[in-house]
Amino acid sequence: MFEKPEMEKPEVQVDTPIDLRPDLSIYGIDEVDKGICEDTFENRAALRRARLNWIAVYALNGVPTGHIQALSAEMQSQQRLLSLDEKRAILDDPNDKNSDYLYGFDLLAEAAGDLVAPPWVIGATRQWAKWQNQNELERGRRKEPLLPTRCKAIKEDGIRCQLWNNGRIADEGLCRVHLGSLRQKPTDSVERARQRLTQAAPAAVDVLEQLLESAESEPVKLKAATEILDRAGVRAGFDLNTEITIDVRPAASIIAERLGRLAEGAKAVEDKLNLKPEIIIEAEVVEDGKPE
């Protein structure tokens, strides 16, 4: 019987210095080597919670090893600086890591531009240069092509984004990545919150109506009545006109109609709670006794 020879484990290729790799044991991850772990869903989730990125680890022969290497913030900054060294030829100021890229005719004149800049940037720049070289009559027949430039976003480590924006004025000089994250932050969150409040409005009216009808405490009833009157627009003698003449009734109109109906009952409850006892001006004392 011939025994099958054991498969030799592929030699892993990791160029990152071991001192820069993060200690994954503090995040509850079993390490294969410092900063390296198995590529599993659980390990990726733990790295995501720790706000660490990762890259796949390959062997010297280019075969995937099934491991991933975690990237700390320092490692990512170091990688960006190394990437900037490769782009030094197209930096307007080679000594400034946040310098603008060469663009327009300057980018086309740079010999290394075709190797460093993305192909779509070179193509768009050539289209812009072709339009510029046309006479005034020909240029007036078509819109000026967009001219890509470097993204204006600054990352947390102070290094400017190395991607390109497409030159649209509406994008405000941001690349597609930062433009997408910007659109998802403030305005969409506020709009989602406003929609949730609108959806919760009918339930809020139900609560006020229930308190008005079944609350045992008179101050609670008075407060519910006051809130209903306030939301219905009845303040200091002003009346609410809820006439609606549309065919399709939106939720806002239904809520307004309900508040209008509740306003009358709330007003009556408020009047009853604010009634003062009558003052007896003159009375005759009648003795309780047998009739004569």
| 96-129 pLDDT, tens digit each | 989 999 999 999 999 888 888 989 999 999 999 9
DSSP 154: B
pLDDT of residue 158: 84
Among candidates 28, 24, 10, 31, which has minimal Cα distance to 71?
Answer: 24
Long-range own/partner contacts, residues 227-230 (CB < 8 A, 24 or more apart): 228/259, 228/262, 228/263, 228/266, 229/263, 229/266, 229/267, 229/270
Q: Residue 231 in contact with residue 259, Cβ under 8 Å?
A: yes
Average pLDDT of 1-21?
56
Half-sphere exposure of 64 (CA within 13 A, CB side): 8
CA gap 259, 230 in Å, rounded: 10
Does the structure show a pLDDT above 50 at 186? no
| 20-32 pLDDT, tens digit each | 788 888 888 898 8
pLDDT of residue 192: 63
CA gap 164, 174 in Å, rounded: 8
pLDDT of residue 149: 92
- 286 pLDDT band, cuts 50/70/90, is low
Q: Residue 260 in contact with residue 244, Cβ under 8 Å?
A: no
Return the higher-pLDDT residue of 262 and 27.
27
Q: Residue 148 in contact with residue 103, Cβ under 8 Å?
A: yes
CA gap 208, 226 in Å, rounded: 10
Spell out the domain ranges in the chain. Answer: 12-71, 82-184, 199-272
Does the structure show a pLDDT above 90 at 155? no
CA gap 260, 247 in Å, rounded: 19
- 151 pLDDT band, cuts 50/70/90, is very high
- Residues in contact with 236: Cβ distance below 8 Å, sequence separation at least 6, in sequence order: none
Among candidates 188, 178, 138, which has minimal Cα distance to 156?
Answer: 178
> pTM for the complete prediction?
0.45
Return the higher-pLDDT residue of 47 and 78.
47
Half-sphere exposure of 205 (CA within 13 A, CB side): 21
Average pLDDT of 174-199?
66
Token couple for 41: 């869903």
What is the percentage of the chain residues whose pLDDT exceeds 70?
A: 70
